Chains A and B, each alone.
Chain A
Amino acid sequence: MAQRPLSPHLSIWKWGPAMLVSILHRATGDAMALVGLPILLWWLAALASGPEAYAFFANLANSWVGYIVLVGISWSFFNHFASGIRHFVMDIGAGYAVDSNNRWSVLTTVSGFVLTAAFWAVIVLR
């Protein structure tokens, strides 16, 4: 085979906000599917099995490992939620101009963190 240049020139690129949003959207969605859903099922199974099973789940959830996992899942949700809204906007054909795309990409990523912080602030302070 003749050595022809590859498109879209895999070695020539630089980081942009849209790349980060795209990667995080996939990563957080897959994390929720592979980690979040088993935990959701565990929570429901514990609730169905009785107080002892629920206490076992609650003890793990209240440990520091449990908090790391739950904060991670909640951030995954809020990030995926924000970038999902961005997808809906782009689905109607809006937001493709470079300036506004970059601006909304940054805002999407930031709002994922802000919503996660607000969620846990309400839980901790109530």
Chain B
Amino acid sequence: MGNGTPIGRVRGLGSAHHGAEHWLQQRYTAAGNLIVVGYLVFSILLLPDMSYATVREWMAGLVPPVMIALLIVSVFWHARLGLQVLVEDYVHHRGARFGALLTLNLAAFSGAAFGLFCLARIVMNIETEAALQSAMAAAAAASAASQGGGM
């Protein structure tokens, strides 16, 4: 451990061995965003409108909820990395910077968790409604059959 000039201290500490990690993760998630946000953009363009019924019907498919789940993970991760750079560049006070990065991490993870939870609820709502409708249709058919048999 160097204990002289700042640069000497840095040299004494040596490399943390993940200098390029942030930079690489920003690129990995950027490439992911290209795919998943591109999918959302084309979906918005191809859907006839953005009404509740239309979007729910779209979400009932196999691929859309998976792509939106991937979008939430990739985009929130990328946003966390980007906002980290913003904080590191403009928040100079060490305590304030630590606080800002702590808040950023909590917000990014909370936001992603909330998004994924909402998505799970959307899919469960759709499944429940479909199950309820088919059960009601079956009950109606059964009662019609029993009434027909009684007469």
Q: Looking at the assembled complex, report how far the CB atom of B68 sits from the nearest CB atom of chain A, in whole angstroms.
A: 8
Q: Looking at the assembled complex, report how far the CB atom of A81 sits from the nearest CB atom of chain B, in whole angstroms.
A: 7
Residues of B within 8 A of A47 (CB): 52, 55-56, 59, 118, 122
Give Cα A33 to B76, complex, Å.
Answer: 8
Contact A41:B45 (CB < 8 A) given known A47-B59, A54-B52: no
Q: Does B41 contact A (CB under 8 A)?
A: yes
Residues of A within 8 A of B82 (CB): 26, 29-30, 33
Q: With CB as the reference atom, state the residue of chain A lying closest to B114.
A: A41
The number of inter-chain residue pairs (CB within 8 angstroms) is: 66
Q: Say yes or no: A41 contacts B115, CB within 8 Å.
A: yes
Interface size of B by Cβ–Cβ distance < 8 Å? 29
Q: With CB as the reference atom, state the residue of chain A lying closest to B55.
A: A47
Q: Does B121 contact A (CB under 8 A)?
A: yes
Picked from A48, A87, A91, the residue with its CB within 8 Å of the CB of B118 is: A48
Picked from A41, A48, A61, A88, the residue with its CB within 8 Å of the CB of B121 is: A48
Q: Say yes or no: A37 contacts B41, CB within 8 Å.
A: no
Q: Does A2 contact B (CB under 8 A)?
A: no
Q: Say yes or no: B44 contacts A123, CB within 8 Å.
A: yes
Interface majority SS on B: helix, strand, loop or mixed?
Answer: helix
CB under 8 Å from chain B, chain A span 2-35? 26, 29-30, 32-34
Q: Does B146 contact A (CB under 8 A)?
A: no
CB under 8 Å from chain A, chain B span 69-128? 75-76, 79, 82-83, 86, 111, 114-115, 118-119, 121-122, 125
Supplied contacts A47-B52, A84-B30, 6 more A-B pairs, CB within 8 Å: A34-B83, A37-B111, A38-B111, A47-B122, A48-B118, A88-B30
Closest 9 CB pairs of A and B: A33-B79, A44-B118, A48-B121, A48-B118, A54-B52, A48-B122, A29-B82, A45-B118, A51-B52
Binding site for B on A (CB under 8 A): 26, 29-30, 32-34, 37-38, 40-41, 44-45, 47-48, 50-51, 54-55, 58, 61, 77, 81, 84, 87-88, 91, 119, 122-123, 126
Binding site for A on B (CB under 8 A): 27, 30, 34, 37, 41, 44-45, 48, 50-52, 55-56, 59, 68, 75-76, 79, 82-83, 86, 111, 114-115, 118-119, 121-122, 125
